[in-house]
């Protein structure tokens, strides 16, 4: 298995980003993707838990540096049907809610949502749609994306690279330092009205 090198990320959300967007677009688009995903938000956790193509994909926040850049690390990728032992880890360590009583040894995607997630008042399912435009600037990945969170539209700009100094230098070069650094989970919670317990 190749070594996983987590990237450092700076991201913000809003409606438009003025001159910064124009500077990004001058570098020429490198790729475009559309996707539909479900995220499960926990009122008592900030972990990034999403579902795409019947696959659970979890990233955990490893560290935040002095420039408030965030380093997210892949923590779990599991397909369905999923075992109750893996679900126990998911609820205990990532959702940080009481582990439910499992009535099955394995769960399909639909069973997991209907029987375990929906009944839990500390969890919320968010339907997310993304249209992502990718650029490369200073060898960093820069993205402009239009998203909706349960139908609420949000625009986001992101800068990612394995070197945090490169990320913050690119953020400054693009004139983005005046915008707050907001990750996907916090933006989603604001959009759908989930507060901390």
pLDDT of residue 16: 87
Report whether 94 contacts 75 (CB < 8 A).
yes
DSSP state string for 7-26: PEEEEEEES--HHHHHHHHT
Q: In the CATH scheme, what is the homologous superfamily, with its name and number, of domain 8-192?
A: Hypothetical Protein Pfu-838710-001 (2.40.320.10)
Mean pLDDT of 156-185: 96
Q: Over the stretch 122-138, which tens digit does the pLDDT of each residue have?
A: 999 999 999 999 999 99
Averaged pLDDT of the chain: 93
Q: What is the pLDDT of residue 52?
A: 80
* pLDDT value at 49 more than 80: yes
What 3-state DSSP class applies to 56?
Answer: strand
- How high is the pLDDT of residue 196? 63
Using one digit for the tens of pLDDT, what is the confidence trace for 85-127? Answer: 999 999 999 999 999 999 999 999 999 999 999 999 999 999 9
Whether 46 has a pLDDT exceeding 80, the answer reads yes
- Residue 191: both structure tokens together: 């959009």
CA neighbours within 13 Å on the CB side: how many for 10?
27
Residues 125, 127: Cα–Cα separation, whole Å: 7
- Per-residue pLDDT band for 150 (boundaries 50, 70, 90) equals very high
**Residue ranges covered by each domain of the chain:** 8-192
Please report which confidence band the pLDDT of residue 197 belongs to, taking 50, 70 and 90 as the band edges: low
Please state, for a pLDDT cut of 70, what percent of the chain lies above it: 96
Task: Give residue 1's pLDDT.
Answer: 46
């Amino acid at each position: 298995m190749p070594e996983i090198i987590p990237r450092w990320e700076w991201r913000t959300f809003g409606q438009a980003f003025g001159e910064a967007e124009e500077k990004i677009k001058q570098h020429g688009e490198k790729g475009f993707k559309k996707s539909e995903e479900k995220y499960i938000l926990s009122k008592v956790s900030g972990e990034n838990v999403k579902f795409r193509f019947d696959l659970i994909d979890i990233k955990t926040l490893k560290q935040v540096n002095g420039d408030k850049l965030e380093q997210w690390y892949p923590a779990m990728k599991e397909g369905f049907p999923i075992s109750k032992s893996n679900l126990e880890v998911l609820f205990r360590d990532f959702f940080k809610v009481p582990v439910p009583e499992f009535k099955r040894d394995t769960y399909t995607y639909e069973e997991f949502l209907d029987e375990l997630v929906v009944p839990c008042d500390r969890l919320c399912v968010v339907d997310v749609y993304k249209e992502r435009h990718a650029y490369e600037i200073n060898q960093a990945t820069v993205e402009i994306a239009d998203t909706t969170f349960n139908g609420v539209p949000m625009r986001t700009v992101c800068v990612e690279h394995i070197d945090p100094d490169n990320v913050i230098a690119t953020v400054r070069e693009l004139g983005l330092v005046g915008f707050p650094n907001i990750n996907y989970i916090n933006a989603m919670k604001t959009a759908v009205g989930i507060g901390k317990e």
